[in-house]
């Protein structure tokens, strides 16, 4: 049994080494992402592990089949950038990491919202300029707000627990309601109902074609004036140009974005001293009421270890038994 892992970061290496030592399985790691060119490296391996937010090569699953690979394990949750029909067609089992640390992402989303509510981005800039005046940047208390949670899977439920700890009123919407939460009566019947009631809208849902640009000019117009929007889920859920307009005109009081619809050429790259070619993103970065981070909500020691271990354990299980608890297709 032999595995190869692509796009491996320095912070993952110690977990790969520890797993190899414990399981006695050969795992070779490379820093480059999976591309048409790097696919040539998969020959001779039983399983391939990958982690990338951008696109995978179109011919990937056909090539994996051709080279004798039987399992493709991603070290993350989302499979929206994978052609699962092609995987099935080429008899490649695909696994993911459905829950590496829900709390990591939930905690981060609340942390970012608190910064928006207390205008810390503005005050950080003002203090750097030696302007120590307060007004007009009065803050809001979370306990006085209604938080609308969109998506009540593991991460959404963890966020709900945290928001309740602050004393906030929580409402939620999910196409597939959680039975326990349904009994508590926190669900509203539609996106529109949540948009109309919530002071804060926080997204914890997967990306689907149906929900592309869920947040756009039309849906923003249905929200309260002064709403806050938090997205630690998928960038494609928000039409960024429409959001920028709403942030500028004040309909949206603040937005915390840990993901961006065109993030692949930006996030996790060193672009210092370079002009950004994405004008919408550049405009977003100039706004005091926008808090942007480069897809790091998941990024804790616990989560990184779990992502590596679960992906490797899944690949090993498929090779040994033909299936795994984390099997996607």
Give Cβ neighbours of residue 44 (< 8 Å, ≥ 6 apart).
2, 67, 68
DSSP class per residue in 37-80? TGGGGGTT-SEEEE--SSPPPTTHHHHHHHTT--EEEESSS--T
**Rounded distance, CA 187 to CA 309, Å?**
35
Candidates 37, 263, 283, 320; catalytic one = 263
**Rounded distance, CA 309 to CA 12, Å?**
10
263 is catalytic: yes
Cβ atoms of residues 162 and 139 within 8 Å:
no
**Rounded distance, CA 321 to CA 24, Å?**
17
Report the relative pairing of strands 252-257 and 146-150 from DSSP bridges.
unpaired
Candidates 75, 154, 234, 261; catalytic one = 234
Report the relative pairing of strands 2-5 and 47-50 from DSSP bridges.
parallel
183 is catalytic: no
234 is catalytic: yes
**Rounded distance, CA 19 to CA 154, Å?**
26
Active-site amino acid positions? 234, 263, 295
């Amino acid at each position: 049994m032999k595995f190869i892992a692509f796009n491996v970061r320095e912070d993952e290496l110690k977990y790969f080494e520890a797993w190899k030592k414990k399981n006695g399985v050969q795992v070779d790691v490379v820093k480059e992402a999976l591309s048409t060119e790097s696919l040539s490296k998969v020959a001779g391996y039983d399983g391939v592990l990958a982690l990338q937010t951008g696109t995978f090569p179109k011919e990937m699953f056909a090539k994996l089949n051709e080279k004798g690979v039987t399992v493709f394990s991603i070290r993350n949750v989302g499979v929206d950038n994978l052609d699962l029909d092609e995987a099935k067609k080429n008899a490649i089992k695909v696994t993911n990491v459905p829950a590496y640390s829900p709390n990591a992402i939930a905690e981060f989303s609340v942390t970012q919202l608190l910064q928006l509510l207390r205008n810390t981005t503005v005050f950080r800039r003002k203090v750097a300029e030696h302007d120590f005046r307060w007004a007009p940047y009065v803050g809001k208390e979370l306990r006085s707000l209604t938080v609308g949670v969109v998506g009540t899977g593991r991460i959404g439920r963890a966020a709900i627990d945290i928001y309740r700890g602050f004393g906030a009123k929580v409402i939620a919407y999910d196409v597939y309601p959680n039975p326990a939460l349904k009994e508590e009566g926190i669900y509203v019947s539609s996106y529109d109902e949540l948009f109309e009631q919530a002071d804060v809208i926080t997204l914890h849902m997967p990306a689907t074609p149906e929900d592309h640009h869920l947040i756009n000019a039309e849906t923003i117009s249905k929200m309260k004036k002064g709403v806050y929007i938090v997205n630690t889920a998928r960038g494609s859920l928000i039409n960024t140009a429409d959001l920028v307009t709403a942030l500028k005109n004040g309909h949206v009081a603040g937005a915390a974005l840990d993901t961006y619809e065109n993030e692949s050429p930006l996030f996790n790259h060193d672009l210092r001293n370079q002009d950004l070619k994405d004008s919408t993103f550049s405009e977003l970065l100039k706004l005091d009421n926008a808090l942007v981070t480069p897809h790091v909500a998941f990024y804790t020691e616990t989560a990184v270890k779990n992502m590596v271990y679960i992906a490797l354990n899944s690949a090993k299980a498929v090779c040994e038994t033909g299936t795994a608890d984390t099997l996607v297709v």
